[in-house]
A and B are shown apart, each in its own frame.
Chain A
Amino acid sequence: MTQHGKPSKMTRCGWILALLVLFAGCVHVPVSSDVVVNDKLQVAPPLEPGDVLLVYGENAAPPEQNDAVTYFTAGCQGAFHRNTLGELVKTILKVNPQPGRFAVRHVKEAQKEDAADRTETRSDSILRRLDLSKAVVSRDRLRYAVHVKETFEASVHMPLYVSPFGVASCSNKTVLESRVWDLPAERFLGSFTVTAEGEFTVVAYLLHLVVSPDTQKDAMEKLAWEIVARLAGLKPPESTGN
């Protein structure tokens, strides 16, 4: 017969340590951003099989942050993607419900548009800006050009995190402003702007609970969805499983 006494102090400490180790760490809770589309685009004839869509523009500059802000906000401004345009091109292809129907080409070497170019709706500059001729547009079946300008803002609301405890909160906002051109007609078709906003929050007491809206991804996916729907005339699936 074995006699069982009260657990020793060391055993209790061991169990407490085991529980702390088990529950320490980080849990990410992805949430959707609030997405708004401001549509000023004319009705565009859908892309025909074999047509090519050009995408060009500017990714947002990374937000400036010093080491102290990064520390006291648990890096909540750090969730930044540097290649939104590249991801946009992939996502347009992903959400296209008829893969292969049209091509999407990322024009990386296009001349950067200045403020005057962006407000200008005259058509004579679009081929020059993309370094294209009418013959090339016709030969390669270049149908639409979409200029995308990304802006990203993050502002600190609550920098009260000192590892491994505390609360931190920052707002993230991504704006994707896109301007659409009909290349064969050399005509400006209009613009639409996607804005995604969300609050990045960290609550930590050993276990870190991170509520993280990815505004860049949400805005980019919505823009891809809109491009396929508006310029290809197709209904993309709600989820991008590929």
Chain B
Amino acid sequence: MRPGQFTAALGFVLLLFLIFSGCAASNPKEVYRAYYGVEPPESKLATLDLGAAYELIIDDRYYVSGGKYGTVKLPAGTHRIQWAVGFGVSVMVEPSGYAAFDIASEVSLEAGHTYKFFADRTTGHGYKVYCWIEDRTTGKIVNGEKKP
């Protein structure tokens, strides 16, 4: 191999390494504890897995960013959860190339159960968005409509 070719190949490998090194490191997310005052026993807590939601507001009191937290622990019972999802979409459909949706859900959570937020959509003009919350412990949809 000629020195020039070797330098070019080395440069190419370094460039690839730089490009992929940004994606290689995993970023473990923290657990948000959505209760105030005395910590309830673990047996009285439900768990939320943010899944497709990039942010939550729980009972108008707790703001949870999906960038930092992946899971929320909160007391079982009925909660008002505002959650937001976003999709990258064709610029032919949305000029910004991005569409975000806010959903407000009144959900009854059971202790010891884990709930996950999902979102999906159809494609093309007039696309329909489906947002739902699934009880991962029982497999039931507790809020919203699952994409058929």
Count A/B pairs, Cβ under 8 Å. 44
- Residue interface mask B1-20, A partner, CB < 8 A = 1: 01110000000000000000
CB–CB B61/A103 < 8 A? yes
Q: In terms of DSSP, what is the predominant structure of the interface of chain A?
A: loop
Residues on A with beta carbons closer than 8 Å to the beta carbon of B63: 90, 93-94, 99, 242
- Indicate whether A104 sits within 8 Å of B60 (C-beta atoms), given known contacts A241-B68, A242-B65: yes
Residues on A with beta carbons closer than 8 Å to the beta carbon of B2: 2
In the complex, what distance in Å separates the CA atom of A210 from the CA atom of B61?
A: 37
Interface centre among B35, B55, B60, B69 (most CB of A within 10 A): B60
CB–CB B35/A100 < 8 A? yes
CB–CB B34/A100 < 8 A? yes
CB–CB B37/A93 < 8 A? no
The size of the chain A interface, using a CB distance under 8 A, is 18
From the candidates B36, B55, B60, name the one contacting A52 in the complex (CB within 8 A). Answer: B60
- Residue interface mask A32-58, B partner, CB < 8 A = 1: 000000000000000001001000000
Q: Is B64 an interface residue (CB 8 A)?
A: yes
In the complex, what distance in Å separates the CA atom of A3 from the CA atom of B61?
A: 74
Q: Is B98 an interface residue (CB 8 A)?
A: no
CB–CB B61/A102 < 8 A? yes
Residues on B with beta carbons closer than 8 Å to the beta carbon of A138: none
Residues on B with beta carbons closer than 8 Å to the beta carbon of A217: none
Kindly list the 5 A-B residue pairs having the minimum CB-CB distance in the complex, ordered from nearest. A100-B36, A93-B63, A103-B60, A103-B61, A100-B61
7 residue pairs bridging A and B, Cβ less than 8 Å apart: A4-B3, A89-B57, A90-B57, A94-B65, A99-B36, A100-B37, A100-B62
Interface residues of A (CB under 8 A from B): 2, 4, 49, 52, 89-90, 93-94, 98-105, 241-242
